[in-house]
Amino acid sequence: MKIISKLIALWSVVLITACSSTQSLQEYYVDNSDNPNFLKFDLPTSVLNLSEADLTVAQRDALKSFKKLNILAFKKTADNDVEYTAEKKVVSNILKNDKFNELMKLNFGAGKASVQYLGDDDAIDEVVIYGSSDDNGFALIRILGDNMNPAHLAQLLKALQKSNYKGEGLEQIVDFLK
């Protein structure tokens, strides 16, 4: 549950404050979907358990602009250290692409994270959260939408706080990275 709270808090900060590789992040997700070192899954907005009847107009607009979360996680073990280092380098190169606008970098205990986005400041199409720990591995979280507005998304986060969403759907990543 702590990781879910941290992800929501990080997402809040991202939304409020609003490469030399030819491979796209989407291609990277697809290329690694069958790799046993990776866990890949998508979460639709319906998992948030938000009743549109309980939302304000701004919150409904935000919900309509948010499409889904794509999550790809690499679990590091003693047996895949070389592959972990190589995959981490590939992801770093993809995220160095000029199409990505960096919002922030974070250091936390045993790891690092970065938050970037694609699109314009007031019409974000994708937010990418990349976190890595040399002890556990890394995770890429893509928040996909159409013209997401940071101000409206902040309203959606307020609605999430009132909802009965308890992190359903994210248990897989927590268990995988243990």
Q: What is the mean pLDDT of residues 132-136?
A: 91
Distance CA 17, CA 4 (A): 20
pLDDT band at 139 (very low <50, low <70, confident <90, very high): very high
What are the boundaries of each domain within the chain? 2-176
Distance CA 20, CA 130 (A): 18
Shortest CA distance to 3 belongs to which of 86, 121, 113, 164? 113
Tokens of 56: 């304000």
Owner of token pair 């897989």: 172
Q: Cα angle at 2 between 65 and 122, to 5 degrees?
A: 25
Distance CA 55, CA 133 (A): 37
Q: In this predicted model, what pLDDT tens digit does every residue of 83-93 receive, in sequence order?
A: 999 999 999 99
Q: In this predicted model, what pLDDT tens digit does every residue of 53-96 receive, in sequence order?
A: 677 887 787 788 888 889 999 999 999 999 999 999 999 999 99
Distance CA 155, CA 55 (A): 9
Q: Which of 20-29, 34-43, 85-94 has the lowest mean pLDDT?
A: 20-29
Q: What is the pTM of this model?
A: 0.73
Average pLDDT, the chain: 78
What are the residues whose beta carbons fall under 8 Å from the beta carbon of 167, sequence distance 6 or more? 1, 4
State the pLDDT at residue 130. 95
Report the DSSP beta bridge partners of residue 25. Answer: none
Owner of token pair 């974000």: 124
